[in-house]
Structure 1
Amino acid sequence: MEPEQSGPPVNPVLSAVLGLFASPRLNMREDYTRVRRLQRWMAGPTGRFHTLDRSIVAEDGHEIPVRLFLPKQQTHDDALLFFHGGGWVIGDIDSYTPSCSALADATGRVVCSVDYRLAPEHPFPVGFEDCLRVTRVLLDDPDALDLDDPSALTLIGDSAGGNLASAVSLRLAELGGPMPSRQVLLYPATWYDHDPETSPYDSVREYGTGLRLTAAEVMDYMALYVPDPDARRNPLVAPLLAENPVNQPDTLVVTAELDLLRDEGEAWAEKLRAAGNVVRLERAPGALHGFMTLPRFAKPVLRLHAVINEFLATPAKTAAATR
């Protein structure tokens, strides 16, 4: 999973097959409710997993559901706080239950999945504020979810969830006080412009059509999440716009080779490193966007879990409480 300067072109046969799963057929601005229902159906019944459902109250009184995934064998007291992907519009704790359960079993840690409010019903900053609220409560209150060691908290998110984890860490650094010890960003969205004509990133043009995630879909997601184009130039929406992202948690960034978000994720890793943070960057060869949600025994998922475990096994360079 080493970064490379450029990936090979997608095999034409593979591209044709993958095109069946791409979303140009969908108008995400109109069809997002259908996609939500389909995701829940595909996840199947969630009762077979070892979980506990809890909630944390937002500042506006809304109860934010949090699902705790208990590993088959818990070998570590620290916890992973997970923000799911889905373009800030789709996805929830049910559709991500198989992936979070696999992550808990693979790491031997409790995984806490946050069911933050989604756009367009709740545009930015509502979902972000839900994630920030849960993180601050867990860092400040050791008994909030009965975790053994909430002070050693790792934020983890994929795609839009990686964006939210990055934004939460940026905001926490601004506020001062306790910080997560680590963050794991899986193929994160970190930029505001995904138009192939204007994006500064080649991966948008190379992989923005015909694959698992399309540039058109990402632009629809962004329009639903942040309807005002000017408001998208906010570092809490596009972390790459942060002027000096110092005092961030030790960070693992994992990108997917055949993903339009690849270059912006890797640019964020480099910007964090340039600001003096501890950063590890991995590129999953031949992987598509969203590969975390493949079955737990798929080779890309097994490699991902191995990389995450290796990262978590390395002592954080700075204690969270002293950041």
Structure 2
Amino acid sequence: MPVHPEIKKVLEFIPESDPNFKIIPEEHRKIFDAPVLPVEQRVQVHSVEEKTISTPEADIPVRIYTPEEGDSFPILMYFHGGAFFSGNLESHDEIVRPIAAESGYKVISVGYRLAPEHPYPAALKDCYNVTKWATEHQEELQWDGKNLAIAGDSSGGNLVAAVTLIAREKQEITITKQILFYPSLDLDFSEFRYPSLVENAKGYFVESHTLAEHNSFYLKGGVDTDNPLVSPIREENLEGLPEALVITAEYDPMRDEGELYAEKLEKAGVPVELKRYEGVTHGFLGKFTHLDEYKDIYAFTGDFLKSAVKSS
């Protein structure tokens, strides 16, 4: 379908990209990290707690969302997007709140270290370490001890996929479900291997020619993009990974890699639910979920998380 009329209006106000423009992370963060809605207009949950988690690598800030009063909860770890160099707990607050409310999960949003100050594998280690920390603090978190899901958008989806690979290898934690919102799963931009990188190359917020620079901060120091922990789509064996929900957007350069990953998971015997939202662009969570065509994404996500929840 065509781009949604309301999204098209926004796109028309965005100036044409300058091929000589260079990203300055600090400046980019000032714009990207600002949430759209004031706190009082965001979805309300029972409680929101700020905490700092000490891990072997660093002290990591988290924000813990408890959806309602209760004695025991399934837990969802959330890894925000932002191309590994922007985004934070506040930028994704309005995304995490409705996920908690619709799912009934206690959600822990992870403020992992950002590139270029902390390139790969800092963010990945932080996400894994905080997830492991959660399993070690069952009583404090009122975790049900059974259900541990992880979710993330864009680069956060990359971290989700990579954390599942580490968890499968180390066998220290058991992740029950994974959710990838328009994930970035292939960080090798030496060629455009996916049709969506060409079809949606320009004019839809994220542009294909900028992806290499966006991810260069995370890949600082000559990181091998064939490494499945960097580009999870390169993993040949996807057997035994958690049940997955993959959400893609029609007008997203990264659409096809997300859908290919879902296909590969399914071929490996992993239960997968794939949904493409039509007429919308990358990064639509929080920005366009007020529109009727996309507001169901949180209920859809909640239904996936609530399905087949293990009793404690």
Q: Aligning the two structures, in what range does the TM-score lie when normalised by the shorter sequence? A: 0.7 to 0.9
Q: Report the counterpart of residue 126 of structure 1 in structure 2.
A: 122
Say which SS state the counterpart of residue 124 (structure 2) adopts: helix
Shift of 1:220: 1.2
Say which SS state the counterpart of residue 273 (structure 1) adopts: helix
Shift of 1:140: 3.6
Does residue 1:269 correspond to 2:266, yes or no?
no
Q: Report the counterpart of residue 184 of structure 1 in structure 2.
A: 179
User: Which one-letter code corresponds to 1:183 in the other structure?
Assistant: Q
Please tell me whether the aligned partners of residues 155 and 183 of structure 1 are also in contact (alpha carbons under 8 angstroms).
yes
Does residue 1:259 correspond to 2:252, yes or no?
yes
Q: Report the counterpart of residue 87 of structure 1 in structure 2.
A: 83
Which residue, out of 142, 153, 173, partners 1:147? Answer: 142
Q: Report the counterpart of residue 209 of structure 2 in structure 1.
A: 216
Paired residues for 1:1-323 under 5 Å = 8=1, 10=3, 17-18=10-11, 20-21=13-14, 24-25=17-18, 30-43=23-36, 50-60=47-57, 62-71=58-67, 77-143=73-139, 145-194=140-189, 198-229=191-222, 231-294=224-287, 297-315=290-308
Structure-2 change in CA distance of 1:27 and 1:310 (3 Å): farther
Shift of 1:299: 2.7
The Cα RMSD (Å) is 3.0
User: Which one-letter code corresponds to 1:128 in the other structure?
Assistant: L
Shift of 1:29: 5.2
Shift of 1:98: 1.6
Say which SS state the counterpart of residue 77 (structure 2) adopts: strand
> Could you report, residue by residue, the CA deviation over 1:60-99 in whole angstroms, capped at 9, with x for unpaired residues?
3x21111012325779821221000000011000111122
Shift of 1:41: 3.9
Cα distance in structure 2, aligned partners of 1:239 and 1:246: 13
Matched residue pairs, number?
Answer: 308
User: Which one-letter code corresponds to 2:254 in the other structure?
Assistant: L
Say which SS state the counterpart of residue 156 (structure 1) adopts: strand
Cα distance in structure 2, aligned partners of 1:124 and 1:87: 12
> Could you report, residue by residue, the CA deviation over 1:254-286 in whole angstroms, capped at 9, with x for unpaired residues?
111111110000011111111111111111111
Deviates more, 1:283-292 or 1:126-135: 283-292
User: Which one-letter code corresponds to 2:63 in the other structure?
Assistant: R
> Could you report, residue by residue, the CA deviation over 1:118-161 in whole angstroms, capped at 9, with x for unpaired residues?
00110000011000101112224313x52332531110100000
**Which of the two has greater helix per residue?**
1
Please tell me whether the aligned partners of residues 24 and 216 of structure 1 are also in contact (alpha carbons under 8 angstroms).
no
> Could you report, residue by residue, the CA deviation over 1:138-189 in whole angstroms, capped at 9, with x for unpaired residues?
224313x523325311101000001001000011101123311101110111
Please tell me whether the aligned partners of residues 36 and 91 of structure 1 are also in contact (alpha carbons under 8 angstroms).
yes
Cα distance in structure 2, aligned partners of 1:13 and 1:75: 42
Structure-2 change in CA distance of 1:40 and 1:187 (3 Å): closer
Please tell me whether the aligned partners of residues 80 and 110 of structure 1 are also in contact (alpha carbons under 8 angstroms).
yes
Please tell me whether the aligned partners of residues 53 and 66 of structure 1 are also in contact (alpha carbons under 8 angstroms).
yes
Cα distance in structure 2, aligned partners of 1:117 and 1:44: 25
Say which SS state the counterpart of residue 143 (structure 2) adopts: coil
Deviates more, 1:99-108 or 1:236-245: 99-108
Residue segments in structure 1 that go unaligned for 5+ positions in a row? 1-7
User: Which one-letter code corresponds to 1:113 in the other structure?
Assistant: S
Cα distance in structure 2, aligned partners of 1:162 and 1:46: 25
User: Which one-letter code corresponds to 1:55 in the other structure?
Assistant: T
Deviates more, 1:222-231 or 1:209-218: 222-231
Cα distance in structure 1, aligned partners of 2:15 and 2:206: 6
- Amino-acid identity (%): 32
Deviates more, 1:44-53 or 1:303-312: 44-53
Give the structure-2-normalised TM-score.
0.88
